[in-house]
Structure 1
Amino acid sequence: MSGPDRTVLITGATGGLGHGLARALSGEPGRLILHGRNPDRLADLRSELAGATATVETVTADLSEQAQVHALATQVADLTDHLHVLVNNAGVGPGRGDRRELSPDGVELRLAVNHLAPFALSLLLLPLLRRGAPARIVNVASAAQQEVELEDLHLRHGYSGSRAYAQSKLAMVAAGFELAEHLDPAEVTVNSLHPATLMPTAMVHEGWGHTIDELSTGIAATRRLIDAPELAGVSGRYFSGTREARALPQAQDPRFRRRLWEISSELTGTRL
C-alpha cells in the first residue's frame, strides 16, 4: 500500500541498500521506522532526512544478540500499533580473512544476523503486521546460497566467511518460504529477493573487493516487493532483481524447512 498511513520498518538503514531505501521512501507520505546498530549513525540519518515528507523515527539494536532483537520488537510496538511493511535488510557479509566469529549468544555470527534475527523479528512483529493488513515482509537475501548442514549449523568444521554467508542466506530464504505457508496471504505476504549483484556497499567492498551492479538497481528491485500492486497477495516467492527465480532445491524441501524452523525457534525463543 501507499499513502500517509503506510508504516514501514527497515533494518540496517544507516548504510548501503537500507540507506538508499530510506532515502527513497522518505520522499513519500507515510511513516518510516529506521533501524541501525550505531546511535551516532542513526543521529546522522535523522539529520539527513530532517526535511523528509515521511515521518521518520529511529530504533537501535545489535541484531547479533537475541535479547536486543526482542527489545527491538518492543521498541517498534511502543512507536506504532501496526506495520504495513517489514524489510529485513540488515546483514553481515563474508568479511575478511575467514575468521569464524560468534555472536554474544554463542551462535555463528552470520547465521545470527542474517537468519536468526529476521526470523525472530518477523514472528515478534506479526501482531503489528496483521493489524496493518494487507502487509508485506521483504527479506533481502542473496543469490549467494549454499546448502545448510543442520548437523553443523554453526560451522565448527570447514569454516569460511563465504560459506557462512551463503548458508545464512539460504536459511533466510527457506524460513521465508516456511513462514509464508503459515500465513494468510491476504493478511501478510513473505517474499525474499536477491536485489542486485555486488552493489557498491561497505559490506561488498570488504567481502568481495569489487562491484558489479549499481545501488539504484537493488533499490528498485526491493521497492517493487514493498509496494508493487501486482504483488498483492503474492507470497512464498524468491526473486532475482525484479524477476521471479528459483532458490536452491534445499530451500524448497519441506522436511529441511520444518527442521530448520524448529532449530531456529529454539535458538531465538520465538514461536508462531
Structure 2
Amino acid sequence: MTAETILVTGSTDGIGRVTARILAEQGHRVLIHGRNREKGRSVRDSIREATGSDQLDLFIADLTDRQNIRDLAADVTETYGRLDVLINNAGVFQPEREVAPGGIEMTLAVNFLAPFLLTHELLPLLEASRSTRIVNVASIAHRSVHAIDWENLPAGENYDPYTAYAVSKVGVIAFTRRLAGMLEGTGVTVNSLHPGVIDTKLLRAYAGENSGGAPPEQGAAVEVYVATAPEAGEVSGRYFEKKQETMPSALARDAGVQKRFWHLGMELTGIEEWQVG
C-alpha cells in the first residue's frame, strides 16, 4: 500500500481517533485534528506509542468558526505539498439548541457547513495530487427525513435534536453527490458513508450512557475502507453502509434538494465560486 497523507477531522475522539490509529498502523502520514491542543497532543502521543509511527501531525481548529476552518486549511497547505485524502469525520449531536457564530444552529454548522467550507479550501491541494479522495461521514439517520423545513434553516429556532441531526446528514449526502458531478474528470473522488450505530460521545448524547452501540473500531473500519480500498476509489458520488455501496434516500438524491443545500452552503460560508480543475 502506498503511504498517503490523510487529514481526519474530529480525530481526538471516537471513530475519528480509531480511524487515525488504523491509518497510522498502515503506514500513512496522518494529520490529526481536534479543538483542544492539550488533548490533541495526548492523542497524538498515544497513537505514536501504539503504532510506532513518526508520521503524525496535529492541527487545532474550532469547526464552528469559519475563520478557524480557513486557517486550518491554510496551515495544512503551508505545511504539506500534498493531501491525498480528506476525511470529514467530525460531527455533533446537540440535545439542546446551541448557536454557532453567525447565528447558525450548531448541528448544521459542524455537520454540514464545516465539511463544505473545509473541502472548498483544501480542494486546490487535493487536486495537486495525482489521485485523491474526499470522504464525508453521513448517517443512516438521513433516511428519517422526508421533507425539509427550509425556513427553519440555518437558525434552527424550531429545534428538535434528532431532526436537526438527520437534516444535516441529508445535507452531507446532497453536497457529496453534487460535488462529485463537478469533480468528474479531475482525479478527485468524493463519497459519503454511514459508519454504523457506534458507541461514541455523539451516540451517548442522543441515547444516554447505555446506548448499546458497536465499538468504534467497527465504524472506523468503514471510514478506512472508503478512504483507502482500491475499489472505493474508483467510484464517486456514492453512499456506503457497512462497506457496501447502497442507495441513499430519495430526498438526498433529489437534484432540487442538492441545489438548495449547495446554495445554502455558499451563502453561509461566503464562498463566491468553486474553482474546479
TM-score range, shorter chain: over 0.9
Q: 1:185 Cα shift?
A: 5.2
Who is 1:47 aligned against?
45
What amino acid is the match of 1:102? Answer: V
Bigger drift between 173-182 and 258-267 goes to 258-267
Match runs of 1:237-248 below 5 Å: 237-248=238-249
Who is 2:170 aligned against?
170
The secondary structure found in structure 1 opposite 2:196 is coil
Who is 1:206 aligned against?
205
Q: 1:133 Cα shift?
A: 2.6
Who is 1:257 aligned against?
258
Who is 1:225 aligned against?
226
Q: Deviations over 1:96-132 (max 9, x none)?
A: 3xx2111022101100000000011111111111112
Q: Distance in 1 between matches of 2:78 and 2:241?
A: 35
Q: 1:264 Cα shift?
A: 0.8
What amino acid is the match of 2:55? Answer: T
Which of the two has greater helix per residue? 2
Q: Distance in 2 between matches of 1:218 and 1:192?
A: 13
Q: Which runs of 5+ in 1 are unaligned?
A: none
Bigger drift between 110-119 and 29-38 goes to 29-38
Is 1:36 matched up with 2:34?
Answer: yes
Q: Normalising to structure 1: TM-score of the pair?
A: 0.93
Cα pair 1:139 1:192 within 8 Å, conserved: yes
Q: 1:66 to 1:44 in 2, by over 3 A?
A: same
What amino acid is the match of 1:138? Answer: V
Q: Normalising to structure 2: TM-score of the pair?
A: 0.91
Q: Distance in 2 between matches of 1:31 and 1:170?
A: 31
Q: Distance in 1 between matches of 2:102 and 2:258?
A: 23
Match for residue 129 of structure 1 among 105, 126, 137: 126
Q: Distance in 2 between matches of 1:11 and 1:66?
A: 15
The size of the alignment, in residue pairs, is: 266
Is 1:67 matched up with 2:61?
Answer: no
Match for residue 115 of structure 1 among 107, 112, 115: 112
Q: Distance in 2 between matches of 1:179 and 1:54?
A: 34
Q: Distance in 2 between matches of 1:188 and 1:242?
A: 20
Who is 1:17 aligned against?
15
Match for residue 142 of structure 1 among 139, 144, 147: 139
Q: 1:200 Cα shift?
A: 1.4
Cα pair 2:203 2:213 within 8 Å, conserved: no
Q: 1:259 Cα shift?
A: 2.1
Match runs of 1:87-102 below 5 Å: 87-93=87-93, 95-96=94-95, 99-102=96-99
